[in-house]
A and B are shown apart, each in its own frame.
Chain A
Amino acid sequence: MVETCGNPAATLDDASAEWIRALTGTGAVREAGLARLHGLLVRVAVRELRRRDAGAWIPGRELDDLAHQAADDAMLAILGKLHSFRGESQFTTWAYRFVVLEVSGKLGRHHWRQHPAERLEAEDWDRLPDRLGAGPGEDAEQAELVKAVRQAVDETLTEHQRRLFVAVVLNEVPLDALVACLGTNRNAVYKAIFNARRKIRGFLIANGYLEERRRGPS
């Protein structure tokens, strides 16, 4: 089901209407609006990078550049899509979405540049229980789980799904970094892994692994 925003022509609240007047105006009014909006976008980008603790792995000057690049790119996108703002949210919420998404994309690209490409190919299956968030368990149980999932991956996933599953699940490649590496979009990677999870689950049920666990003692 497609969830839409509902009213395609909602009435603008006063603050949003003022933003639209300024940004679609001329001369000094528009210049002031652009400067004010850019300042807000930079502030949001800086706070968002801080919230994501990006400073722990990106040097300060580079972090500042990244915030300004995110704000600049968001500004271009906002001005290009200004006609599509229909007042379904406050203008600033609509505008901030662009800069938050820019920050995500730029962090993904930055992460990818910092890490070797072989992380896409390496397969350390023994890490699987940890990656699933499982607590310490018996070696035999964990070995059985790894063997079953590996068989499911081998027998049910396409090569593309396998590559993405291994990268994200086993090798902890951030999804946005994978998006940057493959030149695709987040939805495409998410859907591929979503479908891979369904296939693996179906295989494990068909072969009795998950059913046996449901019936057995917890």
Chain B
Amino acid sequence: MSSWAALERFLGTDPADVGCEQAMEILHVYVDLVAADPDAARRYPGVAAHLAACGPCCEDFRGLLAAVTEDR
């Protein structure tokens, strides 16, 4: 990828992105849905947009999903 293409990708923001606070507020609900059906993420597009853009929140999502999946 060229430097400019990488920059444009980095600078891109999704207006649907709900931010860390809202995403973490309902993370448990989102994770239960995704654990049952990976396509269920479509019900929360703002959370999905945020997790795609925010590394730390995505790590929390992966961690909670792993904990729930290992538990079942």
CA A198 to CA B17, docked complex, whole Å? 13
Of chain B, the residue at the smallest CB distance from A191 is B19
- In the complex, A174 Cα to B54 Cα: how many Å? 11
The verdict on A27 contacting chain B, using a C-beta distance below 8 Å, is no
Contacts A92-B68, A134-B2 known; A187 to B21 CB distance under 8 Å? yes
Contact pattern, B 3-34, Cβ under 8 Å of A = 1, otherwise 0: 11111111111001111111010111101100
Complex interface: chain B residues within 8 A of A191 (CB): 19
- Please tell me the size bucket of the interface on A: 35 or more
Residues of B close to A198: CB separation below 8 A: 11, 13
How many chain B residues have a CB neighbour from A under 8 Å? 47
List residues of chain A with CB within 8 A of the CB of B13.
194, 197-198, 201
Q: Let me know if A114 is at the binding interface, CB within 8 A.
A: no
Inter-chain contacts of A103 with B (CB < 8 A): 63
Residue from the list B11, B20, B26, B47 in contact with A190, Cβ < 8 A: B20
Which of B2, B18, B32, B71 has a CB less than 8 Å from the CB of A218? B2
Q: Is A80 an interface residue (CB 8 A)?
A: no
CB-defined contacts of A51 to chain B, threshold 8 Å? 62-63, 66
Is residue A183 within 8 Å, beta carbon to beta carbon, of the partner chain? no
User: In angstroms, how far is the closest chain A Cβ from the Cβ of B41?
Assistant: 12
Cross-chain contact B5 with A101 (CB below 8 angstroms)? no
A204 engages B56 (CB within 8 Å)? no
A175 adjacent to B56 (CB under 8 Å): yes
Residues of A within 8 A of B62 (CB): 51
> Could you tell me which B residues sit within 8 Å of A by CB distance?
1-13, 16-22, 24, 26-29, 31-32, 35, 44-47, 53-57, 59-60, 62-64, 66-68, 70-71
> Top 6 A-B pairs ranked by shortest CB distance?
A134-B6, A201-B11, A187-B20, A132-B6, A187-B21, A89-B28
Residues of chain A whose beta carbon lies under 8 Å from any beta carbon of chain B = 1-5, 44, 47-48, 51-52, 88-90, 92-94, 96-97, 100-101, 103-104, 129, 132-135, 137, 141-142, 145, 149, 174-176, 185-187, 190-191, 194, 197-198, 200-201, 204, 209-210, 213, 218
